[in-house]
Structure formats: C-alpha cells, structure tokens
Amino acid sequence: MNDVIQEVILINKLARIFKLLGDESRLNILFVLENEPRSVSQIMEKTGLSQPLVSFHLKVLREGGLVVTERKATFIFNALCDSDLTKLIRQFGKYTVGEDKESEQAFNFPGACCPSWMKRGD
C-alpha cells in the first residue's frame, strides 16, 4: 500500500510540473534562462512579453521550484534551478505532432516529431 501512495504522490508532483511547462510564455522564459541568469528587463527584451506578464510567470516558476533568483547589487537575476531542465524539455519535442523542419529546428535535433510507431500509414 505504501508503494501505491508514493506513486500517487509522484504522479501528482509530475502533473504540477507539466502544468508549469504547459504555458508557452513560461517555456519561452525557461529557454531565455538556458545559458545565463537574466533580469526581468532582459527577459522582456528576449521574449517580447510585458513586465507584469514576465514577473507573473517568474513567480509561478519560482513557486514551482524551476527558477531561482539571485541578487547582485541592485539587480535581481533569475536562473534555472537545474541547467538540464531545458535539455529535458527538448527531449519532449520528440513527441510533438507533425513532421516539419520547424519542429526539428525548434528542438535542435533531427526527427523532432511523433515517433515512427505513431505515424499514420498512408
């Protein structure tokens, strides 16, 4: 019974993470933070999102444990809590629907589309 409870807890935690990743703006922010910590204004510049929207999504990502903040002098920089996070997200790109070059370029690897066993036979 203990294993069942642990599995349910794990599934609930995974579902929360996927909800965090299920927003396009949050995904954009995570990819902007991929290589280095950035301020809200730098994130705004890279994503084209407004300041209130960036701040809101950063708050959600911080509360979800995906982003951390660091103060340097008068600036606050946001960073990924784990540098492998965007690599993991790119791996999910393998399961996106569609076979096009845009998917391959967006996820930086060939064959970024649904697995061959999911393709329709014509």
Answer yes or no: are the C-beta atoms of 49 and 42 closer than 8 Å. no
Fold category of 1-83 in CATH: Arc Repressor Mutant, subunit A (1.10.10)
Give per-residue pLDDT as tens, 43-93.
999 999 999 999 999 999 999 999 999 999 999 999 999 989 988 888 888
pLDDT greater than 60 at residue 99: no
- In this prediction, residues 105-115 reach a mean pLDDT of 47
Q: What is the pLDDT of residue 91?
A: 87
Q: Where are the domains of the chain?
A: 1-83, 84-122
21/15 Cα distance (integer angstroms) = 10
Angle at alpha carbon of residue 18, lines to 107 and 101, rounded to 5°: 20
pTM (2 decimals)?
Answer: 0.74
